[in-house]
Amino acid sequence: MVSLSLRSIGIHFFQAASVFFLARFLVPEDYGVFAVLNGWIGTLVFLTDIGMGGALTHAKREPSKKELESYIGMRLLLAIFWYCLLWALAPSIISYYKLDPAAVRAVRVLACILPLSVISSVPRLLFQRNLNFTKTAQIDLLSSAALYFCQILFAYLGYSYWCFILAALIRATTDIAVSYAFARSFHLPKLHWHELKTSLAFGIPFQLQSIIPVSRAIVIPLILVIYLGMEEIGLIFWVVGLVSMPRTIAINYNQIIFPSVSRLRGDVKNTERLISRGTELMALIMSYSFGLGAACGTSLVTVLFPDRWASSKLVIPYAALAIGLSTYQFFTSSMLNAVGQPIRKVWLELLSLPLELGGVALLVPYLGIRGYFVALSLANAAVLGLSLFWIRHWLTSYSIIRLIGLSVTALVSFFISHASGWAESLVFSFTLFTLAYLGIIFVFDKRTVADILTLPNRVLELRS
């Protein structure tokens, strides 16, 4: 837990530096071009797994050598297939988004991430399964440092959106080198059909989960480009990157709790305790972080970023709400996987997909960028509510009350800070929000006061 916390701090530092410097060297269109292209790559990387990684992580026994060879062999085979498909579709993709034909080369170069991402997958899987978070944190920190440093360097040298592509390739290469340096073992890609069938018997629900996000990651940009220009799409993804920094903490929680809860299956008491305390701590940290982002976002853009990003000030509170709800539901719905109910997570994805796509199609033509974040907030709120209902057997009622209460506290504190008229002042907006948030908690929530005062002990309790 400590290693992952240090990793979060390091990645936040690199990410903040990247957002700050890239905003000076790039224009919103650069972010937009990379965002629509990277959506395809990220989705296809996700599809190379087909659920085998989750199946091997969730299994109570250690994966055999043949299972690991089959895992990387099947992923590499799928990566090559998707790479060839993307190579062929590149001209059509660029034509639809009305981009410069030269961007076809960018798609094909970026697609090299598909096989590269597979090569480091086995060491990462073993580190996560064995709860070796120190090595996971070190790998993530080094690869993130390479990513953000190269982004800034290539942007400074005038490579426009190519800075993202080249940096992503360098990150993937760094990830491979560091992962195998720590693992000191290598598994050749092979296909053992018996082991594949055994893993896929559990992994098929995970495969279904991967198919549904494909629709969201690809279809939403396809809809957005109908109503918005590449500059506005770039602003959306830049704002999401700006307000999403606290989301790394939730990802850390998931990396800890998913394998831990998987190993505790059958131990109802400890499973309930782990999920409940994890949810409470997440609610405390996330509600303050995203509320603070919403309160200080306007002043932050005014003080730190050039005028070409000024229009993002109007949507940062909406973005913080949407990403905050997304972070909550990411954590709670992942617990359904951990307790062995992946099919219900599939239903959550099926619910969120039409809500989000329908909201985007209905609201974006009238509200523009704000319409996108309103649609995302509504979809995430619905999914969060249903995921809480489904994991209620592993959550104490008090944990659910605290999650809702802390979220309402952050919302009220934001309105107090925003209504003061000092939204353009970074110092005053930060101070007012923090005082309002802490003031409400000290008056109405003594349990949270105790958690704040003993936060290091609570983290160690969760780890144990």
Hey, how many other C-beta atoms are within 10 angstroms of the C-beta on 303? 12
Mean pLDDT, rounded, of the chain: 78
Q: Looking at residue 68, what is its pLDDT?
A: 72
CA distance 50 to 72: 11
Cα–chain-centroid distance for residue 188? 30
pLDDT-wise least confident of 6-10, 73-77, 320-324, 386-390: 6-10
| Residue predicted with more confidence, 438 or 89 | 89
- Phi and psi at 186, nearest 5°, equal -140, 135
Per-residue pLDDT, 92: 93
DSSP state of 388: H
Query: Residue written as tokens 């309930």?
Result: 272
Pair 383, 351: CB distance under 8 Å: yes
Q: What counts of helices (H) and strands (E) characterise the chain?
A: 20, 0
Task: Return the C-alpha torsion angle 424, 426, 429, 433, nearest 10.
Answer: 150
Which DSSP category does 420 fall into?
Answer: T
Q: Quickly tell me which residue has 């409470």 as its tokens.
A: 280
Confidence (pLDDT) at 131: 62
Q: What is the mean pLDDT of residues 153-179?
A: 91
C-alpha triplet 341, 343, 349: angle, nearest 5°: 120
What average pLDDT score do residues 73-79 get? 84
Q: What is the pLDDT of residue 449?
A: 63
**pLDDT(237) > 70:** yes
pLDDT band of residue 106 (cuts 50, 70, 90) is very high
Of the candidates 327, 322, 387, the one whose C-alpha atom is nearest the C-alpha of residue 351 is: 387
Q: Report how far residue 378's alpha carbon sits from residue 356's, in angstroms, rounded to the nearest whole number.
A: 8
DSSP code of residue 341: -
How is residue 26 annotated by DSSP?
-
Task: Quickly state the pLDDT bin for 452 (edges 50, 70, 90).
Answer: low
> In sequence order, what DSSP letters do the residues of 49-86 get, joined into one string?
TTTHHHHHHH-SSPPPHHHHHHHHHHHHHHHHHHHHHH
Per-residue model confidence as pLDDT tens digits over 441-450: 877 766 666 6
Question: Considering only CA atoms, which of 410, 399, 464 is closest in space to residue 434?
Answer: 410
Q: Are 133 and 2 in contact (CB under 8 A)?
A: no
> Please, which residues have CB within 8 angstroms of residue 226's CB and are 6 or more apart in sequence?
none
pLDDT (average), residues 37-62: 73
Position 153 confidence tier, pLDDT thresholds 50, 70, 90? very high
pTM of the model: 0.78
Q: Measured on CA atoms in the order 434, 382, 57, 169, is the torsion positive or negative?
A: negative
What digits encode the pLDDT tens for the residues 178-193?
888 877 766 666 666 6
Nearest to 347 by CA among 358, 339, 336, 362: 336
The highest-confidence range among 210-214, 344-348, 351-355, by mean pLDDT, is 351-355
User: Residue 80: which pLDDT band, with cuts at 50, 70 and 90?
Assistant: very high
Give the per-residue pLDDT at 298. Answer: 78
pLDDT tens figures, 359-402: 888 999 988 899 999 999 998 888 888 888 887 777 777 777 88
